[in-house]
Structure 1
Amino acid sequence: MSKRVFFSFHYQDVIDFRANVVRQHKLTKNDNAGYFDASIWEEAKKTGEIALKRLINDELKNTSVTAVLIGTDTYDRRWVRYEIVKSLSKGNSILGIHINNIPGKDQKTKSSGLNPFDYLGIQYNSDGTRVDFYEYRNNKWVLYKDLDGYTISKVNDERKGKFFKLSYFYNTYDWILDKGYDNFSNWIK
């Protein structure tokens, strides 16, 4: 069955063309990459905060995978963080793809951006029935404000009361070094 993929990215990476390479690669392949693009364009950000959250939530409906395209400043973008946390609470599979090794419009590459999964975390309560979201801001972990935690089925005893960065759970790849053009459909399985 084909996967519906939601792409989360900083719009600057669309301007620089790096995000487009990943998002549109299936159009240049002879085979079907096995996903449908369900991205939101930057113009939606001109609306109010509540309307934007609603739009993101609607775009995430009927998706099963969230691919975070990691450029230079992706880790620090408020709406990318919201898309990641909302994807987690929705139950999507999540992965990160570093895109700075893709030549931009200027044909230059950049050093890898910071992993946004290192700047978001979850904490299970002491009895393992609730999870709360955290983000790293101003050199400390603070409760995430854009989306509340939620009640869960009990987790393994070793996770009760503990905090984890999302990078503990989610893989990241490099589009160029890990041959994303050939391997993307395997990454989203």
Structure 2
Amino acid sequence: MARRVFFSFHYQLDASRVQQIKNMGIVEGQRIVNSNEWETVKRQGDAAIQRWIDDAMKYTSCTIVLVGPQTADRKWVQYEIQHSFDKKRPIFGIYIDQLHDLRGRTTVRGKNPFSRWTIGEGANLKRLDTIIPGYDPNTSWQTPYKVILTNLEDWIEDAVRRGGVYHV
């Protein structure tokens, strides 16, 4: 049975890349809203967006941050990371910059979205990007699509096995 996951990503830049991952059939991700639906939610304000995110994240096994060129700086991606961390939901990232968009283009690699978060204090202070995996499918002789297709299920199971509690 496919795990149910929440995809966190920058909608405007990366929706077609995310759709490729959804269409692999490995996971049951949240329904990706179209731009009209997203604009309707956005017009209702931040509280409505938070409710939409919170509802979409319910009953998921983990959160997957799909990292494009601007993902790390997106307000709602940061909210989704915080929400996942608060709910002790397993989380990891996948760089999707080398997946082709609908026009066959790739993009530049984005920053690690976990690098601005820390846990612990004093000598035990650690950045989350040193604890939470960010998988790079661009480091193989296979296409990034094939690397994700081959490894996604294992990455999810590894995250679920680690759980959502992170220690320094």
TM range (shorter): 0.7 to 0.9
- Larger helix fraction of residues: 2
What residue identity is the alignment partner of 2:7?
A: F
Q: Equivalent of 1:54, from 51, 55, 61? A: 51
Instruction: Please point out which of 50, 67, 72 is paired with 1:70.
Output: 67
Secondary structure at the aligned position of 2:104 is classed as coil
Alignment: residue pair count? 146
Deviation at 1:45, TM superposition (A): 2.7
TM-score (norm 2): 0.77
Are 2:42 and 2:48, in contact at CA under 8 Å, matched by a contact in 1? Answer: no
Higher strand share: 1
- Residue in 1 aligned with 2:24? 25
Q: Which residue of 1 aligns with 2:144?
A: none
Q: C-alpha distance in 2, partners of 1:72/1:39?
A: 22
2:97 is the alignment partner of 1:95:
no
Paired with 1:106 and 1:2, the residues of 2 have a C-alpha distance of 29
Does residue 9 (structure 1) correspond to residue 6 (structure 2)? The answer is no
What is the CA distance between 1:12 and its match in structure 2? 2.0
Tell me, yes or no, if the aligned pair for 1:5 and 1:64 is still in contact at 8 Å: yes
Which of 4, 28, 46 aligns to 1:36? It is: 28
Asked if 1:186 corresponds to 2:160, the answer is no
Q: 1:39 offset after TM fit, Å?
A: 4.7
Q: Where does residue 108 of structure 2 map in the other structure?
A: 111
Identity %: 35
Q: CA–CA distance in 2 between the matches of 1:175 and 1:10?
A: 18
- Could you tell me how far apart the structure 2 residues matched to 1:21 and 1:175 are? 14
Equivalent residues of 2:97, 2:109 under 8 A apart? yes
**Could you tell me whether the CA contact under 8 Å between 1:6 and 1:67 is conserved in 2?**
yes
Greater mean alpha carbon deviation, residues 66-75 or residues 85-94: 85-94
Instruction: Quickly say closer, same or farther: Cα 1:46–1:176, change in 2 above 3 A.
Output: farther
Q: CA RMSD in A?
A: 2.1
Question: Is the alpha carbon distance of 1:58 and 1:107 closer, same or farther for their aligned partners in structure 2, counting shifts above 3 Å?
Answer: same
SS at match of 1:116: coil
1:3-28 alpha-carbon deviations (Å, 9 max, x no partner): 2100000012345x2221112221xx
Give 1:176 deviation, angstroms: 4.7
Give 1:46's aligned amino acid: R
Deviation at 1:161, TM superposition (A): 6.9
Deviations 1:49-87 (A, max 9, x none): 112112211111101210000000000000000001101
Tell me how far 1:169 sits from its aligned partner: 1.6
